[in-house]
Copies of this chain bind each other. A is one copy, B any other.
Amino acid sequence: MRIEVLNTGSELLLGTTMNTHGGWFGQELFKLGLRVQRQTTVPDGDAIREALAECVGRADVVLVTGGLGPTSDDITREATAAVLGAELIEDEAAMRSLEAYFALRGYEMSPDNRKQAQVPVGADVLPNPNGTAPGIYVPPRLNGAANCAVFLLPGPPRELYPMFHAEVMPRLKALSGGETAEEVLELKFAGLGESAIHHGVDALLAEIPNLEVGYCARTSEVDVRLIGNAEAIAKGREIVLAAFGDRCFSEDGSSLEEVVVGCFSERGLKLAIAESCTGGLIASRVTDVPGSSTVLTYGFVSYANEAKRDLLGVSWDDLQRVGAVSETVAKQMAEGALKASGADVAVSVTGIAGPGGGTEEKPVGTVFLALAIKGGVTQVRRERYVRDRLAFKLTVSQTALEMVLRAGERLRRG
């Protein structure tokens, strides 16, 4: 089954918005054993019709994103109707859903929004609980010209992703028939590079018949994807975990913060976080997880030295003597957070995110992480992560959460 992705939007080609859809679709489709054969980006306007006609002529399925809004440059609906030779009509259910969307939020619906309820005759309307633009599915064989299924989907990820999972994936499974019989296992690893994992296991995995292996490197995380029948996957899993099992944190697609919250809430453990260089990112990641309020109680963003002293009881003398980015201060921050919060585990980070602030002894990218455990001995790690400011923050948060997870697991054992 040949699948193409067509992303529309001038902002994607001007570079003012990063086009993350191509890769995202690739990852999602891969879980179904499907591949994207081509991805095309075109600006708003006539180029959409031209490119869609080409895609429809080549592919079995075309996934189109963007251009479903209420404004004058949103013309994907019209372009699709023209290419498929279908008439656009106002869909009653889509109209009711639009009205309900505005009513729930207490906004008045603009007359421009009416065009968002227009769909090609015979198409399915795909509900959008997170925005005004409903998606549209035009099944194959609806028109003489093309034997191609076309999905029109909203551009913003928070509207696109849920709609894709709820509405597109089941239809793709049905369209692809037997193609999706394979299973998928995704193992996630923290603190390892892609080439280390690849080098360590790729040759062994290549010997397993009918096993497809994919690696996905993220910031301070590598995901290994195994695709094949149950037997091949079990063999592959054994090889990967034998080599790197101690760094694996998830086998079911859960994120590191989800695993941490699951581990802590299962055991009734409380977590406190004292952040300097990550500036609240670790706490924010933990609180992205529903139910985290039973786990995270106190978070301290002690950016200034005064905050480290006042909130966490770090010694002013030590701050002056060894500096905020030091083993001593990291230790006192974690212990201070543990004491102030009454939590079971506290983690602290203090480092130099850059671009300024580095010294010869402590260059940009230097960070100290400390882990304090109730009744235990505080551990401190020194790391150096040379990367831009945002990637630095994300990497430090990843290391901190991995330390927290291993502490939580030990507390079960103990």
* Chain A contact residues, CB within 8 Å of chain B: 9-20, 22-28, 30, 35-44, 47, 51, 54, 69-73, 104-105, 107, 110-113, 130, 132, 156, 158, 162, 184, 186, 193-196, 198-199, 202, 206, 213-219, 223, 225, 253, 273, 275, 277-284, 286-288, 290-293, 296-304, 306-307, 310-311, 340-342, 353-357, 384, 386-391, 393
Contacts and interface: CB of A to CB of B under 8 A. Distances in A.
A40 B39 contact: yes
Given A71-B195, A194-B71, A279 B290 contact: no
Contacts of A112: 195, 198-199
A36 B7 CA distance: 14
Contact of A22 (B19, B186, B194): B19
27 contacts: A13-B38, A15-B27, A15-B30, A17-B23, A17-B216, A17-B217, A19-B22, A19-B39, A39-B40, A39-B41, A40-B40, A54-B54, A72-B198, A104-B386, A156-B217, A156-B219, A158-B219, A278-B284, A279-B287, A279-B296, A280-B287, A290-B356, A293-B303, A296-B301, A296-B303, A297-B307, A299-B299
A180 to B, nearest CB: 16
Contacts of A357: 293
A117 B318 CA distance: 47
A164 to B, nearest CB: 13
A9 B105 CA distance: 44
B194 A70 contact: yes
Q: Which of A73, A287, A341, A357: most chain B CB closer than 10 A?
A: A287
A195 B110 CA distance: 7
A393 B257 CA distance: 16
A93 to B, nearest CB: 20
Contacts of A194: 69-71
A296 B24 CA distance: 35
* Interface SS, A side: mixed
B35 A14 contact: yes
Nearest to A301: B299
Contacts of A293: 303-304, 357
A47 B40 contact: no
A71 B216 CA distance: 10
Contacts of A36: 13
A301 B279 contact: no
Contact of A287 (B11, B26, B393): B393
A26 B13 CA distance: 5
A244 to B, nearest CB: 15
A201 B353 CA distance: 42
B23 A15 contact: yes
Contact of A282 (B26, B30, B39, B280): B280
Contact of A356 (B30, B196, B217, B291): B291
Nearest to A38: B42
Nearest to A116: B195
A393 B284 contact: yes
A297 B311 CA distance: 11
Given A38-B42, A113-B195, A298 B283 contact: no
